[in-house]
Each structure stands twice: as structure tokens, then as C-alpha cells.
Structure 1
């Protein structure tokens, strides 16, 4: 096995004869240590679906510098962790005036990473080269502006080559329209 550490801090490529695995295990450990999450209870998912991220104008203000620093660390981690991309991008929308509820959501991501530190991207050598794309949208789930969110991924064989999560630029009037906008993008 060949292990290559790229110039970017924390990005590791482990190459065997029949597979390549890209991960950021050491970077996860580093940011857990940096933000004092080494001895916390883990979370099974990166986001609490019962508590959506809202503007929360009545909530207490969170430390802006801490919040932005945590988001910055997580944004870099999304290069090998598509499992946290949606919730990290959702939390990043509140960097101007973060509230305690937003900070709590970011801390949940860190607790999830504590329980799942070794996930990454796996590319097996022998697989087909068929291009397959999946996409989906959620109709008007953004609580602030009622816009839909499009998510998708593309595989070359069984290799993940592209993923995205993006708020749609228009307000869809139905779930069918939201799906159509997602397909067009």
C-alpha cells in the first residue's frame, strides 16, 4: 500500500493495487482536538431533523469568531466527506449573525465526526465506466425563503466523482416544478 499525503493539510490518499481511498482522518482528529470535542458524546447523524435551522432572531448571539472558525474547518473537510456537506452549507448561511441554536447545530456535526472519523471516498480499480447520475430536491424546505434545495451525485462506475447540494435560485410552486429545476441543473 502506498500512502500519499498531499500538500493540503489533512488530505490523505491510500493506494493499493485494487483501490484508492481518500480520507482526512488525521484532519478530523486535529479539528476535534482544536475545538475540544475529543471527550464528547457522539451523534449518530450530522443534523437533527426535528430542529431545522432557522433565522432565530430572538436567540442569544454566539461567538462569531468561534462559529466562523468551526465552519471554515468543516468546509475544508467536505472535500472528502459528502455526508456532511448539506448541513455544513446550511450552517454556513448564518455566519454573519450566528445564534446559539446555530452553534448547537455546528457542534452536532463535530459530535457526528467524533463517532465517524474514518469515512472518505473509495475508488475501486475494477469497475465499469458507466456514468450514472442521481438527483433529488426537497420542495420548499428552506424555512427562511421557501426555496427548494437540489442535491445530486455522479458516479463513474461505482466511483463517486461529483456531488453537490445547492439551494435553487427560484421559488418552485410545486414539488414537480422543484424536481424539474433540479433535473435542469
Structure 2
């Protein structure tokens, strides 16, 4: 029998096992994502999406490169495996892949700036709680 050891990485997830629980993150991936899209020197933001921005199909706004936008969406969707805090914002931006405008790209870049600010965020599973996984959703 061969003992491999403690699991520390799996499919891009970084796994930190401790006596009190398990921490899952994608911090290395997040930092590479920010660098890939050239936003490592961008200003920090505290939220993934601005409350004042309403994304719609703007007919008069300037068009953007659809391949870049889709690449950014795909990269962020992969990151949602350990970052539920960006899931809603990425989903909203993903709706506009058919008719992309500059306002959509601005919103997407804001999410990446937020990822830069919070690259070390992840999910903590405490051993102190019971073994039932509970989730909540608001249909509104």
C-alpha cells in the first residue's frame, strides 16, 4: 500500500486541511486571471458590481471584442467554484454575450478588479458544525 499524503491541490483548487476544518480557495488562479487580463495595476474595488449600474442591451454604446469578453466570462465562471460571492455578478454579465457593448466590458472588468482585491478569499468548512450542508436562495 502506498500512502500519497494530504491532498493540497485538486483541479485548480487549493486545499488547506486543519484540525478545525478545511479551507478551499483558488487564490493562485485568481491572481493569474487578473494578470492574464492586464488588470494587476488597476484600482481596488470593494464589491463585484456597482449598485448604480443597470446592464441592458445598449444600442448606442460602443461595441467590444466578443472573444475577449467570452474569455473573461469563462475564466470567472471557473473561479465561482470556490467564490460564490462573484457568482451572481458573473451570471448577469454572461447574459449579454450576444450583443456586447462597452458598458458590459466595464462591469466585467470591475468583477476582475474585485477578484484582485479579494484573491485570497475562499470557502471554509468547519468541523465544528454538523454534517448537513444547507443553502438558501431568494427567488426574487
Pair in the same fold by TM > 0.5: yes
Deviation at 1:135, TM superposition (A): 2.4
- Give the equivalent residue in structure 1 for 2:24: 22
- Give the equivalent residue in structure 1 for 2:54: 52
**In proportion to residue count, which structure has more strand?**
1
| SS class of match (1:117) | coil
Is 1:4 the counterpart of 2:8 in the alignment?
yes
- Give the equivalent residue in structure 2 for 1:146: none
- CA offsets, 1:29-70, max 9 Å, x none? 111111111111011100011011111122110111110010
Aligned residues: CA RMSD: 1.4
Where does the alignment leave 5 or more consecutive residues of structure 2 unmatched?
1-5
Q: Which has the higher contact order (CA 8 A, sep 6+)?
A: 2
| SS class of match (1:39) | coil
| SS class of match (1:134) | coil
Query: Aligned partners of 2:29 and 2:133: how far apart in 1?
Result: 31
Normalised to the residue count of structure 2, the TM-score between the two structures is 0.90
2:57·2:99 contact (CA, 8 Å) conserved in 1? no
| SS class of match (1:66) | helix
Q: Kindly report which structure 2 residues correspond to 1:148-167, keeping only aligned pairs within 5 A, or say none.
A: none
Corresponding residue pairs, total: 135
- Give the equivalent residue in structure 2 for 1:104: 106
Query: Aligned partners of 1:115 and 1:135: how far apart in 2?
Result: 26
The alpha-carbon distance between structure 1 residues 133 and 74, as it changes in their structure 2 partners (threshold 3 A), is closer
Choose the corresponding residue for 1:81, options 80, 83, 86: 83
Normalised to the residue count of structure 1, the TM-score between the two structures is 0.69
